[in-house]
């Protein structure tokens, strides 16, 4: 029987590598900018960054965390960032319990009893 931690981890989305992450962020921000019918210069002005920062980021270059936060706020994702930090992805149930200040929770504690006897 698989543990509860194994079942939970199977449903987590695949996280891109550190090398792949800037490219994916750039693609997604570009799609949102275009959906808003904003030019790169429009987003740069709203975010308080240079147009060259927008161009570099959309091409997949890494940018500073400060500039990334400015872009997310300009696109209306401020509440999303805070919500994400309130609900972290825990590697296992014990980590979640520690986050909430509870004692260790094992998978056995959460296991349900069989209703019917095993055949």
Q: Rounded to an integer, what distance in angstroms lies between the CA atom of residue 36 and that of residue 39?
A: 9
Domain membership of residue 5 (yes or no) is no
Q: pTM of the prediction?
A: 0.64
Positive/negative CA dihedral, 7, 8, 12, 15: negative
Residue 65 pLDDT greater than 80, yes or no? yes
Residue 98 lies in a domain: no
Q: Do the domain assignments include residue 8? A: no
* Tokens at 110, concatenated: 């959460």
Let me know if residue 115 belongs to a domain.
no
Q: Which domain holds residue 62?
A: 17-89
pLDDT digits (tens, 9 = 90+) for 18-31: 889 999 999 999 99
Structural domain total, the chain: 1
Joined tokens for residue 3? 């543990």
The pLDDT score that the predictor gives to residue 42 is 98
At 70-96, the pLDDT tens digits run 999 999 998 888 888 877 777 777 887
Residue 99 lies in a domain: no
- CB contact set of 68 (below 8 Å; sequence gap of 6+): 25, 57
CA distance 71 to 53: 10
Which CATH number goes with the domain that contains 40?
A: 1.10.260.40
Mean pLDDT rounded to a whole number for the chain: 83
């Amino acid at each position: 029987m698989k543990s509860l931690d194994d079942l939970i981890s199977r449903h987590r989305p695949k996280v891109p590598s550190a090398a792949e992450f800037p490219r994916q962020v750039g693609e997604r921000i570009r799609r949102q900018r275009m959906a808003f019918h904003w030019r790169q210069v429009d987003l740069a002005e709203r975010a308080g960054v240079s147009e060259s920062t927008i161009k570099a980021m959309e091409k997949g270059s890494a940018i500073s965390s400060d500039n990334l936060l400015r872009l997310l706020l300009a696109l209306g994702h401020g509440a999303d960032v805070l919500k994400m930090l309130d609900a972290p992805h825990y590697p296992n149930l014990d980590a979640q319990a520690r986050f909430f200040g509870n004692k260790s929770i094992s998978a056995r504690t959460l296991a349900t009893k069989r209703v019917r006897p095993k055949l």
